[in-house]
Every structure is written in structure tokens, then in C-alpha cells.
Structure 1
């Protein structure tokens, strides 16, 4: 496997090395921007109360329902090589508005700003990453994706480690101890703004190479209506299977995460300690994911195939939920979350993105973002509502609720199998 890694690095064509390096650092700064504020988002979920989380996620879903047609409408009217730049600048403006609102407004506004920031973070995290991958799957070909997406993902993992490390230093050494903490967790927004600004600069060097090869001018906007992603999904069996897959994996993941948050809440009542714990998880996940992306991802995708990676996810997610039930300890959360996220970022995400390269041009820009945002958030809403309310309403015990997930895990594996049929087209 080491020899395979060396061959991948040193046998990269000279003409691809520059773009691969830029993509590596592009994703580094995208995820550094997100992960510097992600532990804060998780802490706010605890502070808001787990019983309120389904309502907040439902609002997120509503925002996604509104935002996706707006995104599709804008994409249909602007130069597609400027899509990343324009949307990232919009997110930077949002971050600055949150920061100055927190600093300048009085205490009575803080609860509303905090809840709004939690909702916004859930929208931001999906759009900022999805739009990045849209630029990648339109720049690199399908064959290049299998070779390079693991390396590009590794750049994101290092960025995630950098961002979470900054967050942990803040929560353990700054939070509650110096003047900076008067700004609270929103101090980390400045790091996020800086990182996303560099990502904007790097995005300008990526033109839509794949689309040019398909015969389109790279400067063109994309045709279609604001609701085209919905009609595309309704008419395409492949996109329907991918939609089902997105809903199920995020639903199962969120159901497990709600259980994990309850364990964390019982473990500590100190916000700084909990924020540090969430950041510690990210610091563990990142090097594990990095090792996976450099040494395992390409090997697994080429040797075992994308299909097997997609199919096995259902078993892995159910196993995680089961371990939460039988060992409800803080170390269980640390270990299980670390394994789940390593699999997601190291194998599942690159597998899905490689699959997306097989879609048509308009589907890559619009439908994939709709899948990664609306359907993913829809799964989160269903998973959170069932964890908070649904199990009690139908009279299930905690173990009963866990076993209730078995058919959904099996359906996820089936959807993964059906989605992988796209590779045969």
C-alpha cells in the first residue's frame, strides 16, 4: 500500500500537478474555515437544549427549501466559473454580520443571534463544501477523480485539523479567561473569514475543464429554471436512488448523534469543557482521515469498488447506534464518532463525489447541490425528530428505537447498491 501511495504521488502527470496542488490547498482553506467554528455550532446545539434541536433543524430544512431554488436561479444566470467566488463572498459577508451583531448589540440579542448562527452554520456547512466539490467534479474527469479526490480530500482534512486545533486552543486557553472571550465563540469567526477569503482567491484558478471537453464554453451560464433540480430528480431513477441514499445516511447519522449529544450533556455541564471535547474529536478524526485518504481511499475505490463502499454504510451506521445503546459512556462517543467520520470523509464522501462525475453537466452543478443540502437536511430532521419525539410516541424503549433502525440501515445499503448502477451507464 505504501508503494501504491508512492506511485500515485510520483507518477502524477506534470500537467496535473499544479492543479492538484491548488485543489489541495483550496479544500484546506474551505474546511479550515468551517472547522474553526464547527465545535461552537455543536456547543450551541447543547445549550439550545436537545429537545429544541428538531425544531431548529426543521427551520434549517425550510431555509434549504428556499435557498436551493435561489441557488439554481443564480447559477442559471451567472458565469459558472465565478459561482464559487460569488457564493463564498456572500458567506464571508454573512460571517461578518454575525460577528458585528454579537459584538455591538446588547445581551438581550445574544440568544436570538446564537440560535440564528446555529441554523446558519448548518446551511453554510453543506453549501460551502458542496459548491467546492461542484467545481472539482467539473474540473477533473471521472478517471482523474479516482486518482486525485483522495489527495484533495486530504488537503481538506489537514484544514479541518487546523481549524479544530484553533477552536480547541480557544476553548481551553482563551474561553472564559481573557478579554477576547468577551466576544465569546464568535471570535473564531475572524479565523473563518480569513480562511474563506484565501479559498475565494484559489477558486479563481479553476475553470470548467470537463465541460469544455464536452463541447461547452467555460464562460457560459447554465440553462434551466430555478426548480430544475426537483424536476431532474423526479424524472431520473439514478437521482431518486441518490436522494434516498442521502436522506437515509444523514437520518441514521443524526439519530446516532442525538444519542451522543445526550451522553455528552450528562458528562459535563461546562460549556468550555464540552467545546474542547468536540474540538478533540475533530483533532482525532483529522489525522485518521488523512491517513485513510493518502494510503487507503484510492486503493479501496480501485480494488474493491465504489459499490461496496456505498453498500457497507448501512451496517456501519447501525453498529454505531447499537454501541451507543449498550455502552453509553463519553469514551464511546469519542471512539464511535471518530470511526464514523473517518469512514465518511475518507471513503464514503470520495465515493459519492466520484459517482457524481458520471452525471450530466447541469446535474453536477444543480442536482448534486440539492442532494447535498435539501435531502441531507431532510434526513437530519427526520433522524432528530425520531430521536427526540418519535420513539416515545410509538412506545419504543431506547433499545427498541435502536432495533427499529435495522430496516432503515438495510434500505440504505440497498440504495447504495442501486445508486452505484450509475457507474455502468
Structure 2
């Protein structure tokens, strides 16, 4: 559905502000700004809750329970995806957004009440809930964005809207750290996050009021069909390729995080061997603090200044292949004898490219799908299939360490092989994207 806008002069301040970062045409700035703020507050709320999650599950169940909760998320998502599809098949799109956001906000308030009453295993339950909340709410936002913009407009503006999610995460984490340092309780922080979701919902209302034409209102007032999200994925070659791409991406990324952890730990042990008073825990904490800081800085810079230009000059191919190319270098260089510091630098580049360029590419792929696919199939892929990639990576690490005896170079070689498959899938996906684009233009 092509977005319509009021006729606004090219000199209005949202247009002028956002044009610094990308190709914004007259009248588009206000809507882009509202979409930016919408996903910004959503990610800010999520990172506050994510910060609350860690001490909550570690204090009430330990690291072992945390690993079980991560695996249990995938099981719960098998039930959640059909439930979301059932809801989407019975509610108009605008009501679906309202009910889902309010439902999650109420759940957060209920968790806060359960925490204050010291309900057993609340940390485990909240960990599982938050995993579903994050993937489902972000997927829903981008489903709506994909319906709001057509392919040509979305390819220009999605990189700019995505800056909101890139900025909201670190700001939310910083706010959460400041609140904890000021003595604010986890219960209060949950209430703050729920309030931010209401701001997120209010921005949805403003966007709907600003963008809906009579035709759009008629279309959005109709519920989706009764098709299952999983069924939609498996009957579409294009969607199967998207699912496969995200599974491979997560396998490579999660395995890469394991390699990085081992590299840092081995380096800390090596340093500790020469110093009797060496604090290994402090060294690892300092390393990851600095690493995450620079990843966030690089992510924001890339998203704000480079992604829209990458799309402008190279199209969707530019954002689809940027991450696998960088990831290939990240894991191939150690096999060629590169140093630990080179690996860390390239891993930083990989992570920041994933959170910026690849995050934008993943959303752009849905620009020319049907409304059912945008909401139902996207929920299935962005939740279940993404988590499935994490589970496969965990199994790979377990088998590699317990049965095969892979060292770090061995895991790097496995990742190189996975990336080559990933690039083949990306190439075929790009072909399908162009075919669907051509078919859309013919109609």
C-alpha cells in the first residue's frame, strides 16, 4: 500500500533535519520522525526490561536456569505464533496493534506485582516472556511499517527509521544502569517500561491518524485471513529463503559469540599466568564493557550515515551482502594466521554491521509481501526461526566441544562454511526479490 502525505513544503523542519542522513522527499519527514520515535521508545522499554531480566533470573535461578529458559523460549513460540495468527485473523489491523501492545504492557505490570510478592520462579517466567516480547513487538512494528510504505519508498526510508531502534537500545540500557545506581527497584523499572509502551502505543495512534486515507482505512479495517503463519512460510519459496537466511545468520552469529568468549577467556588466562594479582573477572568485564560500547557507537554511525547511502547506490543487494562479506573476513582471517586483536576488530565490525545494515535489510525484504505475510509469516520467522538458529548454534557448540573436540580454528572453519551457504541463500533470495518486484510492477 503506497503511503500518502499532506503536501508540505520542502522547507519544514523534519524534512530538513532528516535529509542530513538520507533521501527524504518533501512531506515525508514528519512521518519518518514519528516512526523513528515509535521504535525508539519500544527499544528503550525493551532494554530497560532486558537489564532487569539479568539479575532477576540469576538471583532466583542461576546461570543453569537461564540456559534452560533460553531453550524453552523456542518451545513457547511454537504456541505463540499460531495464537498471534488467530488474533490477526479476527481483529482489524489497527485494533490488533492496540490489543497486542496493551496485552504486553499488562503482562509487564503483572510481572511487577508477582516480583513484589516474591512469586517462585518469577525470573524464569520473565526471561521466557521477554524473549517473546522482544521479537514479537519489533516484528509487529516492522510489519506495520511494511504496510505503511510501498517498496520504493520503504527502501529509501527504512534505513532512517531504523536509526530509532539503533539509538533506543543503548539509551535504554544506560537509563536502566543509572536507575539501578540510584537505588530504583526492579519493580519500579518494570512500571517505567510499561509506561514507555503506552507512549509507543500513542505514537501508533498519531501515525494512523496522520497517514490513513479512506482507502487505507477500508483495507486496515478488514482482519487478515485464517492462514497459519507457519503454513504461509512453507508454501512460499521467497519466505522459505528468508527463514533460511535468518537461521544461518543466527547460527554464525551465536557461534561467533562463543568464539569471541573463548578468545577473551584464553587471553585473560594467559595474562593471569604471568601476574599473581591479576583479576581475571575484572579484565573480562572491562573488555566486554569497552567492546559493547564501541559496537554501539559504530552501529549508530553506520545506521545514521551509511546505510541509506548503501541502499541508494547498491540497492537491497548492498545491505543484503554487506554482513556475510564482513563475517567471512572475520572467521577466515584467523585461519590465515591473523592475530587476536585483528579478530576482535573484525568481530566488532561484524556485530555493528549486523545491528545496522543487516537489521535494515531484514525489514526491507518484507516490502513486497501480502498483508498476511507481513504480519503472520513475519511473526513466525522473526520469532520461531530466529530462535531456532540460536538452538542450532548451541547444539553445534555442544557437539563440537564434547564429541568432536573442535578448537577455535575449527569453529572458525565451520563458520566460514556456513557463511558460504548463507551467501548462496542470499543470492537466491535476491533473485526472488527481483522477480517479485518485477511481477508487482507488471500489475
Task: List aligned pairs for 1:338-377, cutoff 5 A.
Answer: 338-377=348-387
For residue 424 of structure 1, what is the aligned residue in structure 2? 435
The within-5 A match list for 1:386-401 is 386-401=396-411
- Going from structure 1 to structure 2, the CA distance change for 1:143 and 1:246 (only over 3 Å counts) comes to same
Task: Select the structure with the greater relative contact order (CA < 8 A; seq sep ≥ 6).
Answer: 1
* Higher CA-based Rg: 2
Structure 1: runs of 5+ lacking an equivalent: none
Q: Is the deviation greater in 36-45 or in 398-407?
A: 36-45
Q: Distance in 2 between matches of 1:30 and 1:284?
A: 23
Give the direction of change, closer, same or farther, for the CA distance of 1:345–1:423 in structure 2 (3 Å limit).
farther
2:107 maps to which of 94, 102, 110: 94
What are the residue-to-residue correspondences of 1:254-269 with 2, within 5 Å? 254-261=254-261
CA contact under 8 A between 2:229 and 2:376: conserved in structure 1? yes
Q: Contact 1:318 / 1:406 at 8 angstroms: preserved in 2?
A: yes
Tell whether 2:202 aligns with 1:190.
no
> Compared with structure 1, are the counterparts of its residues 41 and 423 closer, same or farther at alpha carbon in structure 2 (3 Å cutoff)?
farther
Deviation of 1:351 after TM superposition, in Å, equals 1.6
1:32 aligns with 2:33: no
The verdict on how the C-alpha distance between 1:11 and 1:352 changes in structure 2, with shifts beyond 3 A counting, is: closer
Separation in 2, partners of 1:365, 1:202: 19
Q: CA deviation at 1:21?
A: 1.7
* Mapped pair 1:124 → 2:125: no
Note the C-alpha offset of 1:12. 2.4
The structural deviation recorded for 1:237 is 0.9
Cα offset, 1:364, TM superposition: 0.9
How far did 1:316 drift? 2.9
Question: Could you say which residue in structure 1 is the equivalent of 2:93?
Answer: 80
How much does 1:289 deviate? 2.5
TM-score (norm 1): 0.82
- SS of structure 1 residue aligned to 2:419: helix
Which has the higher mean CA deviation after the structures are superposed, 50-59 or 350-359?
50-59
Q: Are 2:224 and 1:222 aligned?
A: yes
Name the residue aligned to 2:147: 138
> Aligned pair in 2 of structure 1 residues 247, 10: CA closer, same or farther (>3 Å)?
closer
After the TM superposition, which residues 163-174 of structure 1 pair with which residues of structure 2 at under 5 Å, given as runs? 163-170=172-179, 173-174=181-182
Against the structure 1 CA distance between its residues 17 and 339, is the aligned structure 2 distance closer, same or farther, given a 3 Å change threshold? same
Whole-Å separation in 1 of the counterparts to 2:23 and 2:295: 27
Task: Confirm or deny: 8 A CA contact 1:135 1:206 kept in the other structure.
Answer: no
* Greater mean alpha carbon deviation, residues 338-347 or residues 151-160: 338-347
1:59 corresponding residue in structure 2: 72
Moved more, 47-56 or 285-294: 47-56
TM-score (normalizing by structure 2):
0.79
Deviates more, 1:286-295 or 1:346-355: 286-295
Task: For 1:401-416, list aligned pairs within 5 A.
Answer: 401-416=411-426
Stretches of structure 2 that go unaligned for 5 or more consecutive residues are 1-15, 269-278, 437-443
Partner of 1:298: 308
CA spacing shift, 1:323–1:55, aligned 2, 3 Å = farther
Aligned-CA RMSD value:
3.5
- In 2, Cα distance between equivalents of 1:191 and 1:217: 35
- Contact conserved, 2:23 with 2:156, CA < 8 A, in 1? no
Query: 1:161 corresponds to which residue?
Result: 170
* 1:105 to partner: Cα distance: 1.4
Counterpart check, 1:237 vs 2:237: yes
1:77–1:221 CA contact under 8 A, matched in 2: yes
Q: Whole-Å Cα distance in 2 between the matches of residues 164 and 340 of structure 1?
A: 21
Give deviations 1:348-367, integer Å, cap 9, x for gaps. Answer: 11122112101122111111
CA contact (8 A) 2:323 2:350 kept: no
**Alignment partner of 1:67: what SS?**
helix
Does the 8 Å contact 1:149/1:350 carry over to 2? yes
After superposition, what is the alpha-carbon deviation per residue over 1:68-109, rounded to whole angstroms, capped at 9, x for unaligned? 000000000011112222111111122222222222217xx3
Q: d(CA) in 2 for partners of 1:211 and 1:402?
A: 52
Contact (CA 8 Å) 1:168, 1:280: kept in 2 or not?
no
**Which segment drifts farther, 403-412 or 369-378?**
403-412
Counterparts of 1:269 and 1:167, CA distance in 2: 26
- Alpha-carbon spacing, 1:195–1:388, altered in 2? closer, same or farther (3 Å): farther
Report the secondary structure of 1:206's partner residue: helix
Give the equivalent residue in structure 2 for 1:311.
321
Distance verdict in 2 for CA 1:299–1:387, change over 3 Å: same
1:128 Cα offset (Å)? 1.4
Further displaced range: 37-46 or 132-141: 37-46
Is 1:147 paired with 2:156? yes
Deviation at 1:265, TM superposition (A): 7.6
